[in-house]
Amino acid sequence: MKYRILLDLNDQLFTAVDINDSNVYGNGTTIEKAVANLKHKAA
């Protein structure tokens, strides 16, 4: 799975977004948590 990482500076949250479907994303306080949440939602 390919994804891109965004950082919300106001809330200090990382967001991992699927490159092929921007409606599939995961948030987390670390990049690892954001990617894990993304993979969980994509499954």
pTM (predicted TM-score): 0.90
pLDDT in tens, 1-43: 999 999 999 999 999 999 999 999 999 999 999 999 999 998 8
Instruction: Count structural domains, the chain.
Output: 1
Q: What is the predicted pLDDT for the residue at 13?
A: 98
Segments forming the whole domain that contains residue 21: 3-42
Please list the residues that pair with 27 across neighbouring strands: 15
- List strand residue ranges (DSSP E) for 1-43, in order: 3-8, 13-18, 25-28
pLDDT score, position 43 = 82
Please say whether the beta carbons of 26 and 41 come within 8 A. Answer: yes
